[in-house]
Amino acid sequence: MSENVLILREGRLGRIRLNRPKAIHALTLDMCEAMSAALLEWRSDPDIDAVIIDHAEGRGFCAGGDVVLLYKSGKEDGRAAAEFFHAEYRLNHLLFTYPKPVAAFMDGITMGGGVGISLPCTYRVATENTRLAMPETGIGLFPDVGGGRYLSRLPGHVGEFMALTGARMDGAECYDLGLATHYVESSELEALKERIASAPERLQGMLGAASATPPEARIAESMPRIAKHFQHATFEDIIASLEAGESDWAENELATLRAKSPLSCKVSLRLVREGAGREDFAEEMQAEYALATKVVRTHDFIEGVRALLIDKDNAPQWDPPTPEAVSDELVDALFAPLTASERWTPFPES
């Protein structure tokens, strides 16, 4: 078991607590495997009625995955990255298909891999501290861990907006968009968890009773603009629409997009659009795994992590440098399926 995740039984409740505070609980291979092992054990255990996932000390739920490991692997043969993705996506799929109710407490930063372990859960609790985002285009990656499914099903092209810009959603916005099922004040969480542990079979009712009315979702004001500019078929068309937007909002979003990897933006937009047509979550995971194992070895991913997390000069040199220079052939190659022996597979059903 990994010391970075605490696996607990509290009566008839299974509890998974992320415990890597110095990295805002970013997921490692060991953490993913430990979480999956517990969930597989509890899946058929008649003495476990429900599961909750939260974090121990620290200022966020989960900041993502172990990007530095992926960076080092991508610079070599990519095998360690593929192993991590395989384990992480198995965990995501296990949560998505879990037969018992699971509640994730998204108190604080919930990004990347943190989205991957919260959005598949039956119940997703946001608070006033929640900051949910998929910021991968800033490091040359794409919104994986099921992003192609979740983002594609958001209203008014908000999914494309989040995938491309990496915009952060607060707790009220998560609730308004359906990314969260409940909104609870953070001061109420510990007492709520104690009540759940005392009677986990009443999980849904307890979450409802503890829920507060969230503030007005700030994103509501931007929805017409998001729908107008992010509906377009191509990344170039979205850029052109924002250039003609003639508003401070359009100007700010345009500046945001121009700082992202053009290749990642095109990959992310295609993933969200294709994800809309995938009903089987295992199919989504297979597509994202095939994509991730290739993208992690691209120049833009290695350069993006270098610039933002290693050297921290915040000046990545993207290649290709412009959207127009990113060819369809380059994107098609990244989306090519893997062979049967290389393909991602879920855990066997119990």
110 CB-side CA count, 13 A: 29
Cβ(9)–Cβ(15) under 8 Å? Answer: yes
248 is catalytic: no
Residue 214 has pLDDT above 80, yes or no: yes
Cβ(231)–Cβ(294) under 8 Å? Answer: no
Q: Which of 54, 107, 144, 300 is catalytic?
A: 144
The per-residue pLDDT for range 268-304, each reduced to its tens digit, is 999 999 999 999 999 999 999 999 999 999 999 999 9
Q: Which position has the token pair 């597509």?
A: 287
Determine the Cα–Cα distance for residues 107 and 150; give it in Å rounded to an integer. 19
Share of the chain above pLDDT 70, in %: 99
Residue 120, preceding peptide bond in cis (omega within 30° of 0): no
- The per-residue pLDDT for 58 is 77
Backbone φ and ψ for 245, nearest 5 degrees, come out as -70, -30
- The per-residue pLDDT for 2 is 72
- The per-residue pLDDT for 251 is 97
Share the mean pLDDT of the chain. 97
Amino acid letter for position 7: I
Residue 101, SS3?
Answer: coil
Q: Which of 113, 140, 148, 159 is catalytic?
A: 113
Cβ(299)–Cβ(71) under 8 Å? Answer: no
Structure token digits, residue 188 = 């109420």
Confidence grade of residue 350 (pLDDT, cut at 50, 70, 90):
low
The domains of the chain are located at: 5-335
The per-residue pLDDT for range 44-87, each reduced to its tens digit, is 999 999 999 999 987 899 999 999 999 999 999 999 999 999 99
Backbone φ and ψ for 109, nearest 5 degrees, come out as -65, 125
- The per-residue pLDDT for 1 is 55
Q: Report the sign of the C-alpha dihedral through residues 94, 97, 102, 107, in that order.
A: positive
Determine the Cα–Cα distance for residues 347 and 112; give it in Å rounded to an integer. 22
Cβ(64)–Cβ(320) under 8 Å? Answer: no
Q: Nearest Cα to 175, choosing from 233, 141, 228, 124?
A: 124
Q: Which of 14, 58, 60, 65 is catalytic?
A: 65
Q: What is the mean pLDDT of residues 26-52?
A: 97
Determine the Cα–Cα distance for residues 216 and 199; give it in Å rounded to an integer. 32
Backbone φ and ψ for 264, nearest 5 degrees, come out as -60, -40
- The per-residue pLDDT for 57 is 83
Structure token digits, residue 93 = 């799929």
136 is catalytic: yes
Backbone φ and ψ for 275, nearest 5 degrees, come out as -60, -25
65 is catalytic: yes
Q: Nearest Cα to 50, choosing from 122, 126, 124?
A: 122
Determine the Cα–Cα distance for residues 123 and 182; give it in Å rounded to an integer. 7
Q: Nearest Cα to 127, choosing from 65, 169, 64?
A: 169
Q: Which of 33, 136, 160, 170 is catalytic?
A: 136
Q: What is the mean pLDDT of residues 9-34?
A: 96
Residue 122 has pLDDT above 60, yes or no: yes
CATH fit for domain 5-335, picks 3.90.226.10, 3.30.420.40, 3.40.50.720, 1.50.10.100: 3.90.226.10
